[in-house]
Structure 1
Amino acid sequence: MEIPVYTLDAFTNLPFKGNPAAICPLLHELRDDLYQRIAAEMNLSETAFITRIDPSENFTTGSRFRLRWFTPTTEVNLCGHATLASAAVLFKHKKNVNPKLVFETKSGDLAVTQQGEGYVMDFPLNPTIQEDANEFRDLIKVAVGNHPIQDVYLSANTKKLMVRLADSCDRSVLTSLKVDPVALQSSETSGRVKGLILTMKGSPDNQPGYDFYSRYFAPWNGIPEDPVTGSAHTVLGSYWSKKLGKNKMLAYQCSSRGGELELEVRDDGRINISGQSVTVLQGTITL
């Protein structure tokens, strides 16, 4: 069996920046264990599998597809960068003729439209609840050491914990943090947390005007640090929209690769996440 595979860097327009995802458009469903083994072989934070819903359609004419995402160790319920990359494969490489694509996923229907050089994803918004920092004292200590923090919020739906650094911290504090993924995972074993977001207020007055910065760690799902994370911004968008009093925001995830996301929190309780992507590899998996 031969399976086409594309590797795209998402939330960037430059190769080797943003977040790489492997995308496999499939003519037929595979066994779950095979999906997982392919994802382990690709060894990126996500490998996505696109399958047709209507067998009479193809990747050029169809407008609805099934989409699943796998980390090297597990299947996940929501992934932004691999959704963006999947849409890019269909629009760019399969020359899909539709203005909008809809993916049926574990997080419901996710629509993606082309906009200029990039893509706009219609995603769920994941609100947060404020938590007592002492409940996550060990995890926070591993992540930020003695740096001051000012907010701890949890998105119970996504199991993402968000820790906001104090406004007195410079951006360099966030970018220079060395987070030990093994210590992080062992510091939180209750099952309440499957991902850690570190964030801080941005510098909207300085070009290009980022409203906030973030980094994201998910060793519980086999991802020590994810370079640019769409799903984390369903949480960040909810939090920062309230704190900043604005619906449209420009965000930067300052991992070593870095990536930019445009956000628009909508009145219907969802969020538009926009970004660009670039293809860096095309090949075939032979089984």
Structure 2
Amino acid sequence: MCQESLMQRIAQENNLSETAFIVPASSGTADYQLRWFTPVMEVQLCGHATLAGAHIVFTHLHPEWDRVRFDTASGVLTVVRRGDRYEMDFPSLHPYEGDTPKGLGAAMGHEPLLVCRSDRADRDLMLVYDNAEIVQNMRPNMEALKAFAPFGFIATAPGEGSVDFVSRCFFPNHGIAEDPVTGSAHCVSAPYWAERFGKTDLRARQVSARGG
């Protein structure tokens, strides 16, 4: 794999939420090593860049494969091809209610019902709201959110109709004002809503401007 400084410069030049880098793995526990970089830093987990990496493997490098294992900073992540869909196996991070940092509600534009942390104390804060419309229409103050470094912020609420829950994700401290679709955020939001709703199958929607 190329030098870390070069990967960071490439990610900065791409100026996307994350840029993924893959090389053949040196261990027998995975097929490829995978790392993710935002325009300003390396991150520990990224869903859509993992999906993109798997797509490259399945369509260009090994079209005969139906499973690929990536060695990452979050452990070995597996992606399985099922027809025209990909299934990703990501870690489940146990959410628990924590204190709401002073001023966070004002920075988000709405006071949350509660704030959850996860098993990984250095990861994102999840703010739970009671209405999907609040999440969809919120306009956080990104400069104010930077005061809560190093955290990113997941805003989530119950969904409507066939959607169980919605979310939006903001990472100004990672060089990303809003991530349009964030697979890694569901490592904490999905377990939270699964326990709250008593369900094992959930349908989620990220209600960013792009959506997904």
The verdict on a shared fold, with TM-score over 0.5 as the criterion, is yes
1-side partners of 2:107 and 2:76: how far apart?
A: 36
Match of 1:151 in 2: 114
Q: How does 1:19-30 map to 2 (within 5 A)?
A: 29-30=1-2
**Does residue 1:226 correspond to 2:179, yes or no?**
yes
RMSD over aligned CA atoms reads: 1.5
Aligned match of 1:130 in 93, 97, 105?
A: 97
For 2:90, what is the secondary structure of its paired residue?
strand
Residue 172 of structure 1 and its aligned partner are, at CA, apart by 2.7
Deviations 1:85-122 (Å, cap 9, x if unpaired)? 11011112334322210000111100000123221111
Match of 2:195 in 1: 242
Residue 176 of structure 1 and its aligned partner are, at CA, apart by 1.4
Match of 2:66 in 1: 99
Deviations 1:167-225 (Å, cap 9, x if unpaired)? xx3x3322111112112112x24x4xx2100000012xx2xx11000000011111111
Q: Percent identity?
A: 41
**Does residue 1:79 correspond to 2:40, yes or no?**
no
Amino acid paired to 2:128: R
For 2:136, what is the secondary structure of its paired residue?
helix
Aligned match of 2:152 in 195, 201, 209?
A: 195
For 1:124, what is the secondary structure of its paired residue?
coil
For 1:182, what is the secondary structure of its paired residue?
helix
Distance 1:149 1:180, change over 3 A: closer
1-side partners of 2:163 and 2:95: how far apart?
A: 21
Aligned match of 2:136 in 166, 175, 179?
A: 175
Match of 1:212 in 2: 165
Amino acid paired to 2:61: K
Q: How does 1:30-49 map to 2 (within 5 A)?
A: 30-49=2-21
Q: Which moved more, 1:176-185 or 1:234-243?
A: 176-185
For 2:203, what is the secondary structure of its paired residue?
strand
Which protein has greater RCO, CA pairs closer than 8 Å, 6+ apart? 1
Amino acid paired to 1:141: A
For 1:252, what is the secondary structure of its paired residue?
strand
2-side partners of 1:172 and 1:163: how far apart?
A: 14
Higher radius of gyration, 1 or 2: 1
Match of 1:9 in 2: none
Aligned match of 2:35 in 68, 72, 83?
A: 68
Amino acid paired to 1:85: A
Residue 156 of structure 1 and its aligned partner are, at CA, apart by 4.9
Aligned residue pairs total 208
Higher fraction of strand: 1
Deviations 1:142-165 (Å, cap 9, x if unpaired)? 1033xx532211125152111111
Unaligned runs of 5+ in 1: 1-28, 55-62, 260-287
For 2:54, what is the secondary structure of its paired residue?
helix
Higher fraction of helix: 2
